[in-house]
Structure 1
């Protein structure tokens, strides 16, 4: 029998469906703010660090496009012209804007890096980028789905969303991630991604990737092996083909192995796939 929550979701699917739509408004590093791509603003694109994309409603990449170039940096994404300068080990604050109420969808948060090489991130062919995953967080607390509170069943995205705040004509959700300290310096694309799993039980998991150009400074030497984003996911992956509207016990985070630094004897390894944080 469908749960009461699932029934309410079905009745209100139109307004709920847009609660994840949005974009990276800006990123902050060491107190300096760098602009993301704002579709409806008259921007100087030579200063924008977020990759422009073409989705008019700023909605998700659908599950049907998991092997298409749209999954790399969002639909129709093109290279950003500017880059964020930072040091390996610095923390990046990513601010996502949404007009409706912020990113309210349950799901994981993932971060990837791909070196751009001598071509530079403003010119690199996105289909040639090979990303390694350096951060992932999925199901924070197992339990019964309890939208809209998300206290019994907790996700990376719903925990962040509890600190949403109003700004201008919309709302901001803030995500923080630290660049690995021992990464080889150079130009990189940071791929920031959130999932919406609220309709995954209907075969409609949603993907919200955004790309940001970085220039990483430092003395690190590690160059982790990457994977093209078009090879990250399959619609049959347990973390994509899933029903979260029940008493969920665990969650397998999709995608390639989580890379970990070699410092202190640690090496790249696959994350504990059924681990509940």
Structure 2
């Protein structure tokens, strides 16, 4: 028979199993709103700026698929026709919608850009995209996992989620993306990605990538080379293969390092131990964690 501790940890890890499912509903720039692709919409969506996807439950790309095409812009992703005009050095807001409760999974937030080249983002082959990272934020405060409050062990996603807002039949979380000031103007795909680490201890880390077409203006000249999304992660990476239901002191964000095109301020100063080897190694299971999970979400 499983121990009480093991049973509670398993419950905590599975209780929010669908709370990360969702999609980018819209993108905001300078007071203008640009619509995202809505999986179940019946109206014309030719102006959608986010790439289409095929997953019916809007669920994750699993760790077992991180070296396949679904990791690029989500499951069965195809190009968006619309694009968001944005100036280098400015900000945009990505608004993610979820019918259950917003994105409640603990994990990092990452932003990547990839030039669409001469093909343009409406036509580029997603397998040709080469992404460079412009932002990352992971473990904000170490400590014992305390779902669903996340007041002790804090993550980029759980901190954003504390400002979740009700909207219609669901909820929205809003993420800010800063466009590097020195980037070369042109058409780019923004790859906005969240991770859910609640089941990573079972080898089931969850990835939630979504892509947005951008038309970046400016006078910069920088355009890092980047890497294919299918080569960015490996199942054995410390930031993918780990147990967060412990006294976690540090965390190594997976994927390439943030490009030098982004300022240090933007990289995320709160992120703990970005390049610390085996950064999650310290683990201390409590003797009794009943007080840690008083009201698990379902």
Cα deviation digits, residues 68-123 of structure 1 (max 9, x gap): 00000000000000000110011110000000011000000000000001110000
Match of 1:78 in 2: 78
SS in 1 for 2:111: strand
Aligned to 1:44: 44
**1 CA distance for matches of 2:274 and 2:164?**
29
- Quote the residue 1:102 is aligned against: 102
What TM-score comes out, normalization by structure 2 length?
Answer: 0.86
Q: Does 1:156 pair with 2:156?
A: yes
User: 8 Å contact 1:3–1:245 — kept in the other structure?
Assistant: no
Give the match for residue 276 of structure 2. 274
CA contact (8 A) 1:51 1:210 kept: yes
2:202 aligned with 1:202, yes or no?
yes
Query: 1:263 & 1:156 partners in 2: Cα distance?
Result: 18
Please show how residues 51-200 of structure 1 align to structure 2 within 5 Å.
Answer: 51-200=51-200
From the superposition, tell whether residues 55 and 243 of structure 1 become closer, same or farther in structure 2 (CA, over 3 Å): same
Shift of 1:225: 1.4
Deviation at 1:192, TM superposition (A): 0.1
Question: Which SS does the other structure have where 1:157 is aligned?
Answer: helix
For residues 127 and 38 of structure 1, what CA distance do their matches in structure 2 show? 23
Does structure 1 conserve the Cα–Cα contact (< 8 Å) formed by 2:14 and 2:198?
Answer: no
Shift of the 12–201 alpha-carbon distance from structure 1 to 2, 3 Å rule, reads: closer
Unaligned runs of 5+ in 1: 265-270
Count of residue pairs brought into register by the alignment: 269
Task: Show the counterpart of 1:220.
Answer: 220
Structure 2: gaps (5+ residues): 265-272, 280-298
Q: CA–CA distance in 1 between the matches of 2:117 and 2:188?
A: 8
Cα distance in 2 for residues equivalent to 1:174 and 1:235: 29
Corresponding position of 1:235: 235
Query: For 2:46, what is the secondary structure of its paired residue?
Result: helix
Paired residues of 1:35 and 1:47 also in contact (CA < 8 A): yes
User: 1:12 Cα deviation (Å)?
Assistant: 6.6
Q: Cα offset for 1:189?
A: 0.1
* TM-score normalised over the length of structure 1: 0.92
The CA distance in 2 between the partners of 1:124 and 1:171, in whole Å, is 32
Deviation at 1:188, TM superposition (A): 0.1
* CA RMSD in angstroms, aligned pairs only: 2.0
The runs of at least 4 consecutive aligned structure 1 residues that moved more than 4 Å come to: 1-4, 12-15
